[in-house]
């Protein structure tokens, strides 16, 4: 088992290295001169040469790649061409803000998804099951900004006006200083993620409820509540952990649109600004951060899957 986990770990490291090569290659394809962009009107040939040397732009691409990669390990993401400062300074607070949003969305959506999945599996074929299926199919189809705008229309502008439609944190204060402005973005993300968890939980629960050991437990006279919670749910959690991980990893990219919609000051908003300003260093940094979150979450899910699978657990 330890060997299996180690192999996954090594694979994840290789995936991240390959992603970093891919992301770095994007800079090489880009036209334009970063030093000229940073200096703007003060761009004299000497200054450009000096800044190029300072940013290591006079080195060959392979050297620059390793300098950039080395920088990633110590949190140095290079200089932003649009803002003129270090990327890490620009992104620091935004990463925290985005993580807060993602964690909130996960905390809301995982229990809700699991509950509705189990609930609809227990009422399989009935009206409640059909209702959950239709609602989850509908929500799973909708792009996140459609859900977000629907929520804004209902709760912030046209119907009720009880929640803020956009985030308006004064500079310097963290976004969670005004908790009410976190509600709509969190609900939007949770509504996107929960249906997938619910559908997967329903499918695995139905398999598990048909299995021999659940029948055995029922025949033994174990109370139904205990059959579900002690015998069925733990066996269904393994495969569902994978789906939860995929969804959490999706959140890393999904926050982009939601942050833009609610003007939430996170990395997604930074990414869109950077794309509009053609600020490659920031785009690179955010892509790498998102990829790291993605790979780490998937790794954790695989480990949970390995630990939750009794066959693999005993084979250690």
Partner 1 sequence: MSENPRPDELGGAAVSAPLQPSSADAAVGADVKESASKPRSLMRRVWGQSEGRVGIILTGVIVLLAFLGPLLAPVLTVYAPTEFADRPFQSTGLFGTDDLGRSVASRFLAGGMLLVLYSVAATAIGMVVGAAFGIIAAYAGGATDAIIMRINDVLLAIPQLVFAMLAIVVLGPQGWVLILVIGLTHAPRIARVARAATLSVINEDYIRAAEMYAMPRSRIILREIVPNITGPLSVEAGLRLTYSIGSIASLSFLGLGMQPPTADWGLMINENRIALSIQPWGVILPVAAIAVLTIGTNLLADATARANASTNVGNA
Residues that bind partner 1 (CB under 8 A): 11, 14-16, 18-19, 22-23, 26, 29-30, 137-138, 140-146, 149-150, 152-153, 157-158, 165, 249-250, 252-254, 256-257, 260, 271-272, 274-276, 278, 280, 283, 286-287, 290-291, 294-295, 298
99 or 222, CB closer to partner 1?
99
Considering the complex, what minimum distance in angstroms separates the CB of residue 282 from partner 1?
10
Considering the complex, what minimum distance in angstroms separates the CB of residue 201 from partner 1?
17
Output the 3-class SS for the chain. CHHHHHHHHHHHHHHHHHHHHHHHHHHHHCCCCHHHHHHHHHCCHHHHHHHHHHCCCCCCHHHHHHHHHHHHHCCCCCECCCCCCEHHHHHHHHHHHHHHHHHHHHHHHHHHHHHHHHHHHHCCCCHHHHHHHHHHHHHHHCCHHHHHHHHHHHHCCCCCCCCCCCCCCCCCCCHHHCCHHHHHHHHHHHHHHHHHHHHHHHHHHHHHHCCHHHHHHHHHCCCHHHHHHHHHHHHHHHHHHHHHHHHHHHHHHHHHHHHHHCCCCCHHHHHHHHHHCCCHHHHHHHHHHHHHHHHHHHHHHHHHHHHHCHHHHHCC
Considering the complex, what minimum distance in angstroms separates the CB of residue 230 from partner 1?
30
Considering the complex, what minimum distance in angstroms separates the CB of residue 46 from partner 1?
30
Angle at 212 between CA 124 and CA 113, to 5 degrees: 40
199 or 235, CB closer to partner 1?
199
180 or 276, CB closer to partner 1?
276
Q: What is the C-alpha to C-alpha distance for residues 42 and 60, in angstroms, rounded to an integer?
A: 26
112 or 142, CB closer to partner 1?
142
107 or 150, CB closer to partner 1?
150
Considering the complex, what minimum distance in angstroms separates the CB of residue 118 from partner 1?
20
270, 94 contact by CB (below 8 A): yes
269 contacts: CB under 8 Å, gap ≥ 6: 94, 259, 260, 263
Considering the complex, what minimum distance in angstroms separates the CB of residue 6 from partner 1?
17
183 or 272, CB closer to partner 1?
272
167 or 298, CB closer to partner 1?
298
The residue behind tokens 């995982």 is 110
The residue behind tokens 């060959």 is 60
Considering the complex, what minimum distance in angstroms separates the CB of residue 57 from partner 1?
17
Considering the complex, what minimum distance in angstroms separates the CB of residue 269 from partner 1?
10
214 or 288, CB closer to partner 1?
288
Q: What is the C-alpha to C-alpha distance for residues 179 and 133, in angstroms, rounded to an integer?
A: 32
64 or 231, CB closer to partner 1?
64
Considering the complex, what minimum distance in angstroms separates the CB of residue 229 from partner 1?
29
């Amino acid at each position: 088992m330890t060997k299996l986990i180690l192999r996954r770990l090594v694979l994840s490291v290789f995936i991240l290295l390959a992603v970093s090569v891919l992301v770095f290659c994007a800079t090489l394809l880009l036209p334009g001169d970063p030093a000229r962009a940073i200096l703007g009107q003060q761009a004299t040939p000497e200054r450009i040469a000096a800044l190029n040397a300072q940013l290591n732009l006079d080195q060959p691409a392979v050297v620059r790649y390793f300098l950039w990669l080395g920088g990633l390990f110590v949190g140095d993401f290079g200089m932003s061409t649009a803002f003129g400062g270090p990327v890490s300074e620009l992104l620091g607070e935004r990463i925290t803000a985005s993580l807060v949003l993602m964690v909130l969305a996960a905390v809301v959506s995982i229990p809700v998804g699991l509950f509705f999945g189990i609930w609809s599996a227990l009422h399989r074929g009935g009206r409640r099951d059909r209702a959950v299926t239709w609602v989850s199919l509908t929500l799973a189809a909708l792009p996140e900004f459609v859900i977000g705008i629907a929520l804004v229309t209902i709760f912030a502008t046209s119907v009720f006006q009880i929640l803020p439609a956009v985030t308006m944190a004064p500079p310097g204060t963290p976004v969670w200083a005004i908790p009410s402005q976190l509600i709509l973005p969190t609900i939007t993300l949770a509504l996107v993620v929960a249906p997938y968890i619910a559908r997967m939980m329903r499918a695995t629960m139905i398999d598990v409820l048909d299995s021999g050991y659940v029948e055995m437990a029922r025949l033994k006279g174990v109370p139904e509540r205990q059959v579900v919670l002690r015998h069925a749910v733990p066996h269904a959690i393994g495969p569902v952990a994978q789906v939860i991980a995929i969804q959490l990893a999706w959140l890393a990219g999904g926050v982009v649109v939601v942050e833009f919609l609610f003007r939430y000051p996170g990395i997604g908003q930074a990414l869109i600004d950077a794309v509009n300003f053609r600020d490659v260093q920031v785009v690179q940094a955010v892509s790498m951060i998102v990829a790291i979150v993605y790979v780490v979450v998937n790794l954790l899910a695989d480990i949970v899957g390995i630990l939750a699978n009794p066959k693999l657990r005993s084979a250690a």
